Chain A
Amino acid sequence: MKLPEPARHSRRFAFEKHAGPISCAIGLIVIIGLYAVRQPMILSPFGLASLANASVALALAAVGQTAVLLTAGLDLSIGAEITLINCFAATTMSASGLGIAWVVAASLLLGLAMGFLNGVVVAYGRVEPLIATFCTAFIFSGAALIVLPRPGGSIPDGFATALTGSWGPLPCSILLLAGAVILVWVPVFNSRLGRYIVAVGDDAASARLSGLPVRRIELASYMLAGLFAAVAALFLAAETTSGDPGIGNIYTLNSLAAAVLGGVALSGGRGTVIGPILGSFVLAIILNALGVFNVSAFWQDFIEGLILMVVLGIGGLRVLRAGNWLALLRS
């Protein structure tokens, strides 16, 4: 009998784990390079800040989506969560420092509460994540329409420039993203909860048999997603300085796509945080670049869809490496 080769196996495993982030990083460099050839200004601090501003909301949403995907869940309500919080912030925020602080705190709590609702329905109500978050998405976007029936509202300038301006050479949006990841993601995923989240996503039945509180872990992952959605919504509010009851729609699909691009498995248990962030930057900058390359607005959706499919397809080319269908289905 041939003995397994642990060293080689683990190296291959390590590569699989980082294949998503690495390919995203390469893609990001290529895209920014192409962009810079066409529009050299993009490499200036101002240009880089504008690219960051265009990407950070998606990155935050994708990080939230990843927290849920890691437990083998799915959050189709993330776009609606963003919409509701965006509308809430745009209708309630006043210019005073206290007013801003109050709305920011309330928005974060609102995000946690919406994540809590998702988590209760999925973990305790035992409803499929797909159908549960689809239903709550209706509730959240309906509530957003009640709060703000048509685009409007306003965001104080101080809050807007604080999030979209620059702090020295660094764009504030990047600092916000880094802050959210360092203050929330890193502590959570270095704690027992983070390991439990991955364990539940890898194999929920084994996790339950090992005595993990599977329901509470799933609940926590949805609340994490709600929290990141709230940060994304506040950033979007600062970027557009207004509210829009349709602003979140694209973030549901794009956050999923960014997570998958970044190597997060939809089947759960596998993924990093840097992958979805890089994936979001790739997606957002491609969309941003279409304007620079004089692509007609009518072609944008087509090209966006095509790029998404080609990138996802390239990721799926591992099928050519597998020996046969059976090995593939079991992998």
Chain B
Amino acid sequence: MSQPAGTAGRERAPRFSLGARFSPRGQQVLLSYLILLVVYGGCIAVSREFLSWGTMRLQLVQATFIGLVAIGETFAILIGQIDLSVPWTITLSAILGTNLAALHGQQWIAFAVVIAIGVAVGLLNTLGVFILRVHSLIWTLGVNLMLQGVALIYTNAAAPTTHVPALARFLALGNVGGMPMAFLVWAFFAALAILALGRLPFGRYVYAIGNRQPAALLSGVRLGRVHALVFILSALGAAFVGLMLSGYSSQAYLGMGNDYLLPPIAAVVIGGTRLSGGDGGYVGSIAGALTVVLLQAMLITLNVSEGARQVIFGAILLALASLFLKRGR
């Protein structure tokens, strides 16, 4: 986003070559999984707890929330945009969904709210970013602020309920065949995202737009539709995560999405997707989501103060980024 188009060569080899058997793309993905392994090793060095399935199960559930948001974020970053309206999309969908479902005593209403909010926020983002040509970094932050306002106004009129739809609770906390249900949900949507990027026309349009928008337009790609689809998918993911989070903590509260602004973006970037767009994919983002969650868990285990935790988290991310994620020259 901040460099002239075309300088981020697609065929540029990563800093560390992992053998000629892999394409540059494959090497980048491999690198993100190596980072994950290193971080996991660090976790085990800090505490043997991380070897137990109970602990890792918890981390998988946490990673699901970040990973689901990262799907839409990967799409958005691939077309050279970014979606920063995630936190309050999460909160608003959780509060509105649980409240309206409790009010009418119908579970499906919560899911209808998720879809309605996802489509509405996605279209609003498309309006600003694609039609009015405002930079997505700033427009989506503005949308985020407005959604925060809507959530505040709504909770002022109606107190949040503690009655969460049973299905949301099952999606977040349930168990199917020893695996956490949340992780299965993530696996399902992750497979869809990888399929969409790799096999469907949608994926080719996304990469085409990210690489050179005028060329994509001249090749007949419907830019508006793809932008709208990307932003709607991103908002839908966030809204869905909101519902799952309300199930996870058995309540919806103001600010519950605040921790989901930058971790998903960090996950996408660690996964080897270039912020300038057109290069990357969701396979790496999965490793990125797990890495971010493990890092956070490791710092909590270290039992240091909140301030020191932030310093260490920032420093480790910075070290990872400067070691592995060079921008184009």
Contacts and interface: CB of A to CB of B under 8 A. Distances in A.
Contacts of A304: 145, 149
Interface string B210-235: 00011001100001000000000000
B4 A142 contact: no
A137 B317 CA distance: 11
Contacts of A315: 134
Interface string A50-92: 0000000000000000000000111000000000000000000
Nearest to A125: B322
B314 to A, nearest CB: 3
A253 B141 CA distance: 7
Contacts of B148: 301-302, 305
Interface in B126-142: 127-128, 131-135, 137-139, 141-142
B230 to A, nearest CB: 17
A129 B318 CA distance: 11
B85 to A, nearest CB: 10
Contact of B143 (A256, A300, A305, A317): A305
Interface stretch (B23-31, B150-158, B159-167, B172-180): B150-158
A228 B263 CA distance: 28
A298 B218 contact: no
Interface string B267-281: 001000001100000
Contact of B306 (A128, A131, A145, A253): A145
Given A142-B309, A312-B139, A326 B145 contact: no
Nearest to A308: B142
A268 interface: yes
Interface residues of B, number: 59
Contact of A139 (B135, B143, B318): B318
Contacts of B317: 131, 134-135, 138
Contacts of A298: 149, 152-153, 156
B314 A135 contact: yes
B17 to A, nearest CB: 17
Interface string A164-177: 00000000000000
B133 A316 contact: yes
A241 interface: no
Interface in B233-283: 262, 265-266, 269, 275-276
Interface string B1-15: 111100100000000
Nearest to B15: A126
Nearest to A315: B134
Contact of B275 (A121, A126, A128): A128
Interface in A115-135: 121, 125-132, 134-135
Given A312-B138, A318-B133, A204 B152 contact: no
Interface string A307-319: 0110011011111
Contacts of B322: 121, 125-127, 132
B133 A319 contact: yes
A303 interface: yes
A139 B311 contact: yes
Contact of B262 (A134, A149, A309, A329): A134
A129 B138 contact: no
A238 interface: no
Contacts of B147: 305
Contact of A74 (B2, B133, B144, B269): B2
B146 A131 contact: no
A266 interface: yes
B146 A313 contact: no
A143 interface: yes
Interface string A135-157: 11111011111110100000000
Nearest to B157: A298
Contacts of B213: 329
B129 to A, nearest CB: 9
Contacts of A37: none
B310 A139 contact: yes
B167 to A, nearest CB: 30
Contacts of B139: 309, 312
B307 interface: yes
Contacts of A128: 2, 269, 275-276, 321, 325, 327
Given A121-B318, A138-B314, A130 B1 contact: yes
Nearest to B153: A298
Given A305-B143, A325-B223, A131 B321 contact: yes
Contacts of A312: 128, 132, 134, 138-139, 142
> Closest 5 interchain pairs by CB?
A302-B149, A138-B314, A142-B310, A145-B307, A305-B146
10 contacts: A127-B327, A134-B266, A257-B141, A302-B146, A305-B146, A305-B148, A306-B146, A309-B139, A316-B131, A329-B213
